[in-house]
Structure 1
């Protein structure tokens, strides 16, 4: 009884190499359903447990990574301040793979081509575990935010827009 095993992603290899405890989740995806709400439905999880990985570009530092709850929006002023930039804008989608080694819908904060300055929303710090992309569409991993922040040499900072 052999179950077809997909090749491990850089993210999974790195987590295993550092002996970090994690839980893997797989789900079906389509080009039309790459959003966090679809992933949350597939995994039967709340969107606030799923953290999306966004890549922005600062006017001084170049690329920076933001890891924020799936049901929130990134505040560009907050990531600019946290990363020591005056201005930050989202990385063009066409540059994502060259910059990170990952494609849209499969961008993990772990195992990028280069270790980029990474900022994780402070709401993650108090959680037991969060779910992030494991480096491929249809693959997520759940791990402790403390392990994640150490793994990517990141910082917990407030990154999201406050709800009115």
Structure 2
């Protein structure tokens, strides 16, 4: 049986344009896909899987964060590190219009605009992290320093 060709996402195209090495992980997505299931489906450690969250600061506007899938975003810590007094999660209904991505397929790479981005400092010591490739059921494994570079991000302590 012939395998269908991978349809490239904005995230994949941007990594290729910047000559950044990456590895693709595909899995069958459903509404309750979670990191543990994804890790089992693709054969990687759950600790490598990072989720992308989008929030809004009262001074800076849209903020993007990548944190371990098992962690919770600390909005107060994010506000402090991003120069805001208050940060709230972006309403889900605004996600696609703001980023170009939908829930379950939101990648920190290749959004409509380059928003201020913060990656959990836990990624600093890792060889690679896995983030959404910009489509449900598709993940990208990449070196965290290269993820930092391509998203113009900063490492920060932003989890509870």
**TM-score (norm. length: structure 2):** 0.96
Whether 1:50 aligns to 2:18 is no
Unaligned runs of 5+ in 2: none
1:99-151 per-position Cα deviation (integer Å, ceiling 9, x unaligned): 10000010000000000000000010111110000000000010100000000
- 1:6: Cα distance to partner? 3.4
- 1:46: Cα distance to partner? 2.7
Whether 1:86 aligns to 2:85 is yes
Aligned partner of residue 125 in structure 1, secondary structure? helix
Partner of 1:28: 28
Two-structure CA RMSD over aligned residues (Å): 1.1
Could you tell me how far apart the structure 2 residues matched to 1:72 and 1:59 are? Answer: 24
Could you tell me how far apart the structure 1 residues matched to 2:4 and 2:81 are? Answer: 43
Whether 1:111 aligns to 2:116 is no
After TM superposition, the runs of 4+ consecutive aligned structure 1 residues lying more than 4 A away are none
Whether 1:66 aligns to 2:46 is no
Deviating more after overlay: 146-155 vs 3-12: 3-12
- 1:7: Cα distance to partner? 1.9
Partner of 1:125: 124
- 1:37: Cα distance to partner? 2.7
Partner of 2:9: 9
